[in-house]
Amino acid sequence: MTIQDSPYALVASSQGPKAKVDSASTSPQQVENAYTMALRQFDGAAPFLNLKAGIVDMLKRCKRELTVTFPVKMDDGSVKIFTGYRVHHNTARGPSKGGIRYSPQVDLDEVRALAMWMTWKCAVVNIPYGGAKGGVICNPRELSLHELEGLTRRYATEIAPIIGPDRDIPAPDMGTNPQIMAWIMDTYSMHHGYSVPAVVTGKPVNIGGSAGRLEATGRGVMFTVQEAFKTFGWQLAGAEIVVQGFGNVGSITAQTAHQMGCKVVAVSDIDGAIYNPTGINIPKLQQYVKEFRTVVGFSEAEQITNDELLALPCDVLVPAATENQLTRVTAPRVRARKLVAEGANGPTTPEADAILNDMGLIVIPDILCNAGGVVVSYFEWVQDMQQLFWEEDAVTEQLRRIMVRSFHDVHNRAKELNTSLRNAALVLGIGRVAEATMTRGLYP
Ligand code: NAD
């Protein structure tokens, strides 16, 4: 049994081998260091805030970084050594929060960048968390379920000193899923001698997960897109959507878009892309993917490349795979007419951002657009702490309320400052973290 066979594998593929460097749309030369990218974004927004030099220096660095190297017994009896990370970027506004990524390409700088983006994201949607992220260098597609469990339990033990419900609360990210969160929760609980469900979010519902968490990020993406359409006076019904990546975020974004009456004309995963100008039947595709673990080969669509997908005419392009997809090379080819809605973290390089802006395209930035996941993770943590669980409708309604409010907070700030939604979101997020830091004061 592999992770894809696990009952919690919603859809097919996790990030496959060499995804970042071998992907059709991204050559190694184009790949930008994610941390450098996060720092450049910070430098672009900081001048709007007039921050003291000491605060700037502090916010650009991660508070705590743990690298662990640990052995795992493989199915053939051999022992393999793995490396993992857990990074806390900032905890001024509360315990840190952020996903765990299993990927062959993950490294410390990528985890630092993702942790920093989590800090700004939690502040943009105004939930009481700081930012963190974790990762293990591995290819989950190549591990058996048994090996994956061993790796997860040992990694959880190694990072246990710095996680906890009041300290740092992990969640799923690329290559991880609810089953993996269940193993982390169980391992942590065994060490404590009692169940600690609030140590992770994104768990299965039967052990304290929240209804609607699995769907939260994709739903949140479409709630922001819907609000943008409303705000700009466009019609969402019939709008053409292209989604890159068909994992947790991409598949639920496509499903929600479909339910909202949009036409999802193309989707992709690490293995390739499919296109149907009359609209793909998303529920049927989800069934297909459950069986075949890829969108490739779906009979009701034409096969195209990932490069071609990014250049398709559409109303909304949703990069929902990984970083560095819209670059100075791929961005000029984008033919989206209205929006780029960032389902993934860091899909657009700063150069590509400038190009898309010059093309008149509105980019809904990751730290706003994909914040639905952490918003419902926050609801899950609250429910676990209170041992009082909500119906899915209540979760989704509260999610919608926060996404809509946050969209307008960012949009209003963008109008005030005459800047992009990305800069406005960063200004809002960084500003809130800086304020909290000043209010707390300097210890000792
Ligand atoms: P996932 O592992 O469930 O799915 C990733 C998908 O992207 C897979 O279909 C994979 O095949 C595809 N993919 C990978 N590289 C690709 C490439 N180069 N071209 C095309 N497709 C490619 O991961 P996920 O949880 O859906 O996360 C996707 C992105 O969303 C990541 O950037 C992640 O950090 C971000 N994100 C996830 C969540 C969450 O709740 N899961 C929340 C916020 C942000």
Q: What is the mean pLDDT of each run of 10 residues along the chain (444 residues)?
A: 39 31 42 94 96 96 98 98 98 98 98 98 98 98 98 98 98 97 98 98 98 98 98 98 98 98 98 98 98 97 97 98 96 98 97 97 98 98 98 98 98 98 98 97 96
Indicate if the alpha-carbon torsion angle 438, 441, 443, 444 is positive or negative: positive
Integer CA distances (angstroms), 82 to 34, 148, 223, 378, in order: 22, 12, 38, 30
Indicate the pairing of strand 96-103 with strand 302-304. Answer: unpaired
Hey, whose CA ends up nearest to atom 36 of ligand 1?
A: 344
Which ranges in the chain are annotated with CATH 3.40.50.10860? 63-200
Tell me how far the alpha carbon of residue 103 lies from the centroid of ligand 1, in angstroms: 11
Which ranges in the chain are annotated with CATH 3.40.50.720? 216-364
- Confidence (pLDDT) at 31: 76
On whether the CB atoms of residues 356 and 334 are closer than 8 A, the answer is: yes
For ligand 1, mutation pick of 25, 174, 308 (most atoms within 8 Å of CB): 174
Tell me how far the alpha carbon of residue 193 lies from the centroid of ligand 1, in angstroms: 34
Instruction: Indicate which residue of 133, 203, 263, 338 is catalytic.
Output: 133
- Quick check: bond before 444 cis, omega within 30? yes
* 97 has catalytic annotation: no
- Confidence (pLDDT) at 8: 38
- Confidence (pLDDT) at 18: 30
CATH level 3 topology of 63-200: Rossmann fold (3.40.50)
CATH level 3 topology of 216-364: Rossmann fold (3.40.50)
Tell me how far the alpha carbon of residue 101 lies from the centroid of ligand 1, in angstroms: 10
